Amino acid sequence: MLRHCTMSELLEIRDGGGPAAARAHVDECAACQDELDRLHQRVAMLKALPHVGAPRDRWPAIRDAVEAGRRQRWYQRLAFGGLAAAAALVMGLGLRAVVPQANPVGDTMVDPADVETLMGESRQLEELLATVPRGRVLDGLTASAIADLEDRISLVDVGIDEARTVRATPEQVASLWRQRVALMDALVQVHVREVGYAGF
Amino acid sequence: MTLAAIDELAIRRAKTGDLSALERVYRAYESTVYSIARRICRTEEDAEDVLQETFLEVCNSVRRFRGTRPGSLTAWIKRIAASKALMRIRADKYRDTDEFDEEGGAAARAAADVGLQLDLEGALSRLSDTSRAVVWLHDVEGYTHEEIAELMGKTVSFSKSQLSRAHARLRRMLGEEGQC
């Protein structure tokens, strides 16, 4: 090579790469060797710069924000729980009003085994989700989608609890479990897609 | 208390949302996160905001953290901090004058850099926000160009050229001009 190395070439050589001609040139050229040494020294100096301490303690503000977020989620769930209970009650009363009472003991339109099947599917999706590698930082849109799905699953869970309390019909319970399976499925897909992008 | 001890002992409690455990995580990583933020962001105020945003995300997402290897919590928190700091400098892009440099402007600045003989802190602060972030993430934090490109939403070539440009400027500002 008839010229000195560029900064780009020196950086590539420092990182263990670079064109063979440039590496050969550095071996023979004292000026480029000096430049490479200076590059190493500059990086060592950068690494040796001291840690900088935050001028103010930010923990109280962070703690307050975390607590405020929790309160907000709790109120949302409470509101949904009330709504779910009311909806289940209205559905129950409505069904009793419109469904003929020929068989008052067993006005079920859904086999309880179906509910068991849906619960099993939900469990399988939970297990599958637990095997998906996580821990990388997500982009804002994906993180928001995941948080939204998780919140909606929590809300459905509140509905499932309420359904037990108000003795909802198997059909109502199955409807809630169907929603849960659909949301879990979406959540698993988002995570799997994210892992695919990350090249795990 | 070492960072490894935090990884091992407090993380399980932090995952349950225990605020005292989360505070321990904050105390252990506060300086690390603020340092990254301060090196990347232009002002103390921006760096403080990044510190707060980083730990808000840590508190809200820690239950989803699945790392098990030693140091994985550190890497996870640092990556959040880097991401938040880069978002901050993107938001302040109007101040990042290098982004708009024409060839003539770069040449004029090169001439102005010669003979400055700044210390390293001073020279770093004169780099564009983007160049400074790339130098710090690559040369100090050990991120690859691929990782930096992903964090910045740019190409690998962009990251490489920013690093090269940054070192060329640092060399001039530190008065290290050689024959190369």
Interval B39-48: pLDDT, tens: 999 899 999 9
A3 touching B, CB under 8 A? no
pLDDT of B97 > 60? The answer is no
Q: What is the pLDDT of residue A139?
A: 67
User: Using the beta-carbon criterion (under 8 Å), do B178 and A38 form an inter-chain contact?
Assistant: yes
Band of residue A11 on the pLDDT scale cut at 50, 70, 90 = very high
What mean pLDDT comes out for the span B86-100? 68
Nearest to B28 by CA among B47, B4, B57: B4
Q: Are A173 and A115 in contact (CB under 8 A)?
A: yes
Give the number of C-alpha atoms closer than 13 A to the C-alpha of residue B153, restricted to the C-beta side: 8
CA dihedral A100, A103, A109, A110 (to 10 degrees): 160
Secondary structure letter of residue A29 according to DSSP? -
Band of residue B79 on the pLDDT scale cut at 50, 70, 90 = very high
pLDDT of A135 > 80? The answer is no
Interval B120-129: pLDDT, tens: 888 999 999 9
Residue that wins the pLDDT comparison between B10 and B131: B131
Q: What is the pLDDT of residue A171?
A: 82
User: Using the beta-carbon criterion (under 8 Å), do B32 and A8 form an inter-chain contact?
Assistant: no
Q: What is the mean pLDDT of chain A?
A: 79
Task: Tell me the shortest Cα–Cα distance from A72 to chain B, in angstroms.
Answer: 13
> What sign has the CA pseudo-torsion B131, B134, B138, B144?
negative
Q: Are A5 and A22 in contact (CB under 8 A)?
A: yes
pLDDT of B66 > 50? The answer is yes
A195 touching B, CB under 8 A? no
Residues of A in contact with B79 (CB under 8 A): 136-137
Q: Which of A29-33, A159-163, A177-181 has the least mean pLDDT?
A: A159-163
pLDDT of B175 > 60? The answer is yes
Which ipTM value was assigned to this complex?
A: 0.81
3-state SS record for chain B: CCHHHHHHHHHHHHHCCCHHHHHHHHHHHHHHHHHHHHHHCCCHHHHHHHHHHHHHHHHHHHHHCCCCCCCHHHHHHHHHHHHHHHHHHHHCHHHCHHHHCCHHHHHHHHHHHCCCCCCHHHHHHHCCHHHHHHHHHHHHCCCCHHHHHHHHCCCHHHHHHHHHHHHHHHHHHCCCCCCC
pTM tops 0.80:
no
User: Using the beta-carbon criterion (under 8 Å), do A66 and B161 form an inter-chain contact?
Assistant: no
Q: What is the pLDDT of residue A72?
A: 81
Residues of B in contact with A35 (CB under 8 A): 178-180
pLDDT of A5 > 80? The answer is yes
Q: Closest residue of A to B139, CA-based? A: A43
CA distance B176 to A188: 54
Residues of B in contact with A55 (CB under 8 A): 44, 48
CA distance B180 to B162: 19
Percent of chain A topping pLDDT 70? 75
Task: Tell me the shortest Cα–Cα distance from B94 to chain A, in angstroms.
Answer: 22
Mark out the alpha helices in chain A (DSSP H runs). Answer: 7-14, 20-28, 30-48, 59-98, 112-131, 140-165, 170-198
Residue that wins the pLDDT comparison between A111 and A13: A13
Q: Closest residue of B to A39, CA-based? A: B167
